[in-house]
Amino acid sequence: MASRLLHRLRHALTGDGPGEAAAGPEAEQFPESSELEDDDAEGLSSRLSGTLSFTSAEDDEDQDDEDDEEADPDPLPDGDREAGEDAGPSCAHAERSPPPDGQRGSQLLTRQLQDFWKKSRNTLVPQRLLFEVTSANVVKDPPSKYVLYTLAVMGPGPPGRQPAQISRRYSDFERLHRNLQRQFRGPMAAISFPRKRLRRNFTAETIARRSRAFEQFLGHLQAVPELRQAPDLQDFFVLPELRRAQSLTCTGLYREALALWANAWQLQAQLGVPSGPDRPLLTLAGLAVCHQELEDPGEARACCEKALQLLGDKSPHPFLAPFLEAHVRLSWHLGLDKHQSEAQLQALQEAGLTPTPPPSLKELLIKEVLD
């Protein structure tokens, strides 16, 4: 199993092997094709008992029905979608995979990815993100029923770093594919997407094939520089996490929000392409607020310092004064030097560029509209 996964990861990085394709002169080498409808089932059982764990439908009579994402290929727009839709099975009744299998799969994935990055980080091979579906849960949220795919996202970095994670359903992948096709007809012509099925959407075989297809689909997108920098792809990875984190922070669920802010920050760092002009700053604001509310002023201050470094001399950026005010207050609480931030904040106030006192980071989070 380990050799099979490492072989796949090596192809994902180098683009070597059968099935590589091109999408224009600037495209890098693709991994193998993601269209798996006609693929055979070789290796299916070993994959299902290895890194991918999932739950199949208990009631066989439902498996021939259209699932919710197939029947409604373009559900509510992202802005109108319920927060729980992307939040995973914790927000709806879900048939989960047994915890020990999921833990074993996650540990195996992390160990093998870390070993592979350690061996390859000094080579000249272009470093790409790696994607692995670690679980797939059938979620029942009447009247909807769908499969929620959880992917680990691993990029270059320290060997001990855990992969970031995202949870998406078929309709989310399909919406991304459709949006990119409209904008990038040339590059997208060479990238296939798993076809819809009208029946047997919740069987083990269908879930396994789609899981691998989604991994390869994202790998193909990452292989083309033009697509890798597309705003729609950045939104696919980061925007749902930011919205959920913002909602939890505004309702006072700071511990749950902190994990989401941290995951969103890691995703943005691994993507390597700005997911929006102010999203890194918004993420740092969320981290700072949650750390402060959870009585960890040292981490909150460190987040403020990171944000101030990103801002530099971007005056009068609306984020600048709130971060300066938080940095001054946290430095005073910790007995650390605050003179530089204090002087900068005072200069902004004297110039009439920010009110006295400036809005807090939490107020800024509540008012910020993520689109």
**CA distance to 3, 14, 258, per residue, from 110 (Å):** 14, 20, 22
Instruction: Report the interhelical angle of 297-311 vs 279-293 (nearest 10°).
Output: 160
Given this model, what pLDDT does residue 196 score?
81
Q: How far is 203 from 141, CA to CA, in rounded Å?
A: 18
Nearest to 239 by CA among 121, 106, 79, 109: 79
pLDDT of residue 12: 46
List beta partners, residue 132. 152
Residue 80 neighbours by CB distance under 10 Å:
7
- Shortest CA distance to 194 belongs to which of 39, 52, 7? 39
Query: Tens place of pLDDT for every residue, the chain, 371 residues?
Result: 444 444 454 454 444 443 333 344 444 444 334 334 433 333 333 343 334 444 444 443 343 333 444 443 333 333 333 333 333 333 333 343 333 344 444 444 555 555 544 544 443 334 578 999 999 999 998 888 899 999 999 877 666 678 899 999 999 999 999 999 999 999 999 898 988 876 777 889 999 999 999 999 999 999 999 999 899 999 999 999 999 999 999 999 999 999 999 999 999 988 876 655 689 999 999 999 999 999 999 999 999 999 999 998 666 788 999 999 999 999 999 999 999 999 999 999 999 988 989 999 999 998 888 87
pLDDT of residue 183: 96
The secondary element (H helix, E strand) that includes residue 13 is helix 2-14
Query: What span, in angstroms and rounded, lies between the C-alpha atoms of 360 and 213?
Result: 44
Domains of the chain: 130-229 (3.30.1520.10), 233-367 (1.25.40.10)
